Amino acid sequence: MGATTAALAARVSRISRELKVFAVASLALGVAYSIMDSTFNNFLNERFTMSGFERSFLEFPRELPGFLVVFVSAALWFLSSRRLGAIALLVGAAGTLLVGFASPVYGVMVVWLFIYSLGQHVFMPLASTIGMELASEGKTGQRLGQLNALRNIAAILGSFIVFLGFKYLGFTFSHTFILTAAGLAVAGLLMFTMKSNKAQPATTFLKLHKEYRLYYILAVLYGSRKQLFITFAPWVLVTIFKQPTQLIATLLMIGGVIGILFQPLLGWMIDKFGERVVLASEAGLLVVVCFGYGFSRSVFPEGVAFIIVCACYLLDQMLMSVQMARSTYMKKIAKEAGDIQPALSAGVTIDHIFSISIALLGGVIWNAFGFQYVFLMGTLIAAVNLFFALQVRTPKHEAAPAS
């Protein structure tokens, strides 16, 4: 036991200071986002009593910052990825407090939600960029998998805080907004202590390269697909199956436990088998997931359908992590290292054009035809995703040495 502890301590001591700081920041922001994700749908439902269309329409101001990412990044080109990430997290913290404590009516809340979401979306491509900067050659998938596993641990902790708080400690939504803001603020301040790296010129953020067109297509399909999980999957559980706040928190916590093992395995699979295999497998599984969301209630008894939908939610949560394969694919096909962060930022902007459209279209379909047809649309998106995933090719890289 003593030898094992000593070996672990020696291994930790070899980790660079920058990676340690980023890991702790990732843990803090993971807890924060988990608390917010676990409670936000119920907060909306209880505070504003929205219809399915009103809930889907809210995705426009929430997802609009994702469209603006490339333009914000270009405007702040003089900031390195690490400094921009720190500022984004602090903006998110401010937005969280405003949503929780300065939203007397729906319209005001929408403005504050935009601010929270702006910080969240600007940080999205930076998380992958910084993670890959801190990886050894040939082990980018492994590094991103390790960092995502750490965020899964954070998601468990955040979900457990919500479950324990609402069930036993008399939590209100005010408590969760305070905890979310605190976690984001801590993460932002930690990132300010990291060494600043080279900033990219503004023009690199606003240029699309034809060589990266398949990456941009995959970004379109990811944006379309992710909206089903973010918006409509929890809305099915909350409104169709009438589930309380604790259920989403519990599912996120279970998914976090699974993800501790799954994320490093996924990173290893990307490095071992390549992005094509991983992305195609994700697309195939999404066909099954979308069918389960939309039609299990029509085929099975209520209790069985509920279990199937929960299982689909967990699998969907795992598959969201395959986004790291799109990031490593971009890194492998980049003509220059300086293209990576701008391309990832452009990818976020592109995917949000379509995620906003899918949110609005999904709300119309839900109201006009029923929730089942939203997920039928998702099945078609997954099939198109499979076709393009099979087109992925990457340059051959020298195998990484065993760790």
Instruction: Judge whether residue 32 has pLDDT over 80.
Output: yes
Calculate the average pLDDT of the chain.
Answer: 83
Average pLDDT, integer, range 138-167: 84
Instruction: Judge whether residue 197 has pLDDT over 90.
Output: no
- Residues 212-216: contacts with CB under 8 Å, at least 24 apart: 212/330, 212/333, 212/334, 212/339, 212/343, 214/388, 214/391, 214/392, 215/326, 215/329, 215/330, 215/333, 215/343, 215/347, 216/346, 216/347, 216/350
Range in 24-33, 56-65, 331-340 the model is least confident about: 56-65
Q: Tell me the CA distances in angstroms from 200 to 205, 238, 338, one per residue in order.
A: 8, 43, 7
What does the pLDDT read at residue 399? Answer: 38
Which pLDDT band, with edges at 50, 70 and 90, does 402 fall under? Answer: very low
| DSSP-derived secondary structure letter, 237 | I
Q: Residue 73: which residues within 8 A CB-CB, separation 6 or more?
A: 84, 122, 125, 205, 341, 342, 345
What does the pLDDT read at residue 11? Answer: 59
305-329: per-residue pLDDT in tens? 899 999 999 998 888 888 888 888 9
pTM for the whole structure: 0.74
Is 60 buried (19+), middle (13-18) or exposed (0-12) by CB count in 10 A? middle
What does the pLDDT read at residue 176? Answer: 92
**Which one is predicted more confidently, 53 or 46?**
46
Which residue, chain included where needed, has tokens 């409670």?
39
What does the pLDDT read at residue 201? Answer: 64
**Which one is predicted more confidently, 257 or 2?**
257
Residue type, 176: T
Task: Copy the structure tokens of residue 300.
Answer: 């099975």
User: Which domains are seen in the chain, by residue range?
Assistant: 15-195+210-389 (1.20.1250.20)
Q: How many Å apart are CA 279 and CA 326, to the nearest integer?
A: 8
Average pLDDT, integer, range 344-352: 82
Average pLDDT, integer, range 319-345: 84
Calculate what percentage of the chain has a pLDDT beyond 70.
90
Start-to-end C-alpha separation, the chain: 21
Which residue, chain included where needed, has tokens 């491509």?
125
- The phi-psi region of residue 138 (left if phi > 0; otherwise alpha if psi is between -120 and 50; otherwise beta) is left
Q: How many Å apart are CA 315 and CA 129, to the nearest integer?
A: 26
Query: Contact at 8 Å (CB) between 198 and 80?
Result: yes
72-110: per-residue pLDDT in tens? 888 887 788 888 999 999 999 999 999 989 888 888 888
Which pLDDT band, with edges at 50, 70 and 90, does 203 fall under? Answer: low
Q: How many Å apart are CA 282 and CA 14, to the nearest integer?
A: 34
H-only helix segments in 300-322: 302-319
What does the pLDDT read at residue 401? Answer: 37
